[in-house]
Structures are given as structure tokens and as C-alpha cells.
Amino acid sequence: MPDMDNFKEASAFGVGTPQETAGFPLKGCGNLDWGMKNRLSRIFGADGKSLMLACDHGFIMGPTGGVERIDLSIVPLLEYADCLMCTRGILRSVIPPTNTVPVCLRSDAGTSILTNLNDNVVIAAEEAIRVNAAAMAVMVAIGDELTEAKTVANLYHTVDIGQKYGIPVMGVTAVGKQMTRDAKYFRLATRMCAENGANIVKTYYTEGFETVTAACPVPIVIAGGKKVPEREALEIAYKAINDGAAGVDMGRNVFQSEHPAAMIQAVSAVIHKGLKPDEAYQMFQDLAK
Ligand code: 5RP
């Protein structure tokens, strides 16, 4: 451990000076192998942006609002998503194998008792390959005394699998209730994910987000978080993209909307067409009629 006393507060983030991408649309991924790049391209496309639809909530929370029946609530939305984030249980039991939307597979295990979350159990490499995962997602609880070490170990192990078989890994930053959700925390959490090998990092939008994306050498996507009014969710998505995010991995703000198909199309337009929040909200209202 270096002597922490001599470290100065970070400030030279170079916001506004994009990281060199070596000719690949996603930063930090230009030197990866063909299979990795191909899978990342399936998720992010030519513009390097992605709307991931998250419906993995049931793996620790059961059938909460919106994911009671994934066949009814999520499958009809697949045509608007660039990627689906779900567990292997839902994939095999509910998602039609004719689906061609790439899958970011929840690849760690959870329990409903949060202190025992992710007890060093991650998916077998063969299993991720068998279900044709385009990426593997694991939770990382930076700053949580009980689970940080276990979850960092999970990420590290999953990255070993991913590197061996060419499957990108997404580190998902889990924010404990006792942690301050500020830019400093998210810079720490996202950077630790990237330095431990994550190819994509999922985190939350916060004020000062441009320093979070600048200091993280790989693409960041944001989680939507708890359900808020549609206009607000579209604004968060817009700000995140504007501040350097490569996309969103949104769940509740899509599937808990009164009009999920309209909402997912409006979010997609923010990400891929650069619609401003008011324009996107107008689109949502028009589609919801
Ligand atoms: C939890 C997750 C969820 O998929 C994530 O929270 C996205 O869903 P939402 O937009 O509802 O927050 O990764 O670990």
C-alpha cells in the first residue's frame, strides 16, 4: 500500500479532452481482441452508444413492480433495446431463443440478505458461452466493509474468464446506504472497477459526472435508479450522455412507466439522436397517446 499521506486531491481530469480510442468507437477498448470488440460492437453499435434494458432486479428482490411477468413487460420492449441485462434464469425460462438482442448476463449470485450479497460466486465460463452472452455483469460494492473485498474478487475472477474467452465484463457499482453519492465516490468506484479489469462500468449519475467519466478509462453507462417522472428520467439520461456516458442501463424508469414502449423509445432518441429533454419528453407524450 503506498503512503497515502503524500497523495494530493485529484483535479487534472482533462474534461473536454477526449481519451484516444485507437480507431474504435469505445474508449479504452481499442486494444482488445477481435471477439471482445465484436461483442462490444453488438452492444454499443457504430455510434459507441447503447440503451441497455435492465430487468435483473428479481435476482435479489423477487418479482418487484414491473418484473412480475417479464414475458409480458420486458419481451415486448426488446425491439427497442440495444442490449438486455438479465439473469440466466430469466434468459432460459422467458426470453425467446430467437431473440437477437445481445445479452449482458448477470454473472454473480445474490441473496436477499444484503450483507451476504455476492459471496464469491460467479458464473462458470462455459455457462456464459453456452447462453451466448455478449457481456457479463458483476456487482462491486466499493466502500462497503462487509462486501467490498468479496465483490472485487468476483470482478477480478470474472475478468479472468472474460479475457480468456473474449467476453467483456461490466462492473456494476453498488452503492451502500451509508456511502455518499457524490462525484468523488463515483470516481473511486468506477476507476477501481476499470483498474480491476472491467471493460464497461455501470454507475449512477451525479453532479460533477463529467469528472467521473473523464477519470474512468473505459465506457460508463448509468443505471436509471428509482422511478422518477418521465421528464426527469429523460433529463438524467441526457445529462449523463452529455457528460460523457456511453449509454444507459435502465430498468425501473422504463418498465414502471405507464407507457414503457413510449419511454424506451424516447430514451433511445436521447442516446442515439441527441434529443434534448424537452424534445424527448414531447416524443414520449406523442407516442403515449
Ligand atoms: C442492480 C442493477 C440493476 O439492473 C440496475 O439498478 C438498473 O436498473 P434501474 O434502472 O431500475 O436502477 O444492476 O445491480
Is 226 marked active-site?
A: no
Whether the pTM exceeds 0.75: the reply is yes
CB contact at 8 A, 196 and 171:
yes
pLDDT 10s digits, 116-170: 566 678 999 999 999 999 999 999 999 988 889 999 999 999 999 999 999 999 9
**Cα of 89 to ligand 1 centre, how many Å?**
17
Confidence of residue 67 (pLDDT cuts 50, 70, 90): very high
- Virtual torsion, Cα 178, 183, 184, 185, nearest 10 deg: 30
Lookup: cell for 212: 467521473
CA proximity to 264, closest of 85, 52, 67, 71: 52
pLDDT, average across residues 232-254: 98
Q: Look at residue 1 and tell me whether its pLDDT is greater than 90.
A: no
Q: Taking residues 194-222, report their average pLDDT.
A: 98
pLDDT, averaged across the chain: 95
Sign of the alpha-carbon torsion through 19, 155, 54, 202: negative
In the prediction, which pLDDT does 119 show? 67
Q: How confident is the model at residue 186 (pLDDT cuts 50, 70, 90)?
A: very high
User: What number of CA atoms fall less than 13 Å from residue 248's CA on the CB side?
Assistant: 31
CA distance 1 to 33: 32
Q: Tell me: the pLDDT tens digits for 39-54? A: 999 999 999 999 999 9
Class for the domain spanning 34-288: alpha beta
Q: What is the dihedral of CA 147, 150, 154, 159, to 10 degrees?
A: 100
Query: In the chain, where are the structural domains located?
Result: 34-288
The predicted structure's pLDDT at residue 118: 65
Of 98 and 1, the one with more pLDDT: 98
Question: Quick check: CB of 254 below 6 Å from ligand 1?
Answer: no
Residue among 177, 202, 239, 273 flagged as catalytic: 202
The ligand 1 atom nearest the CA atom of 252: 11
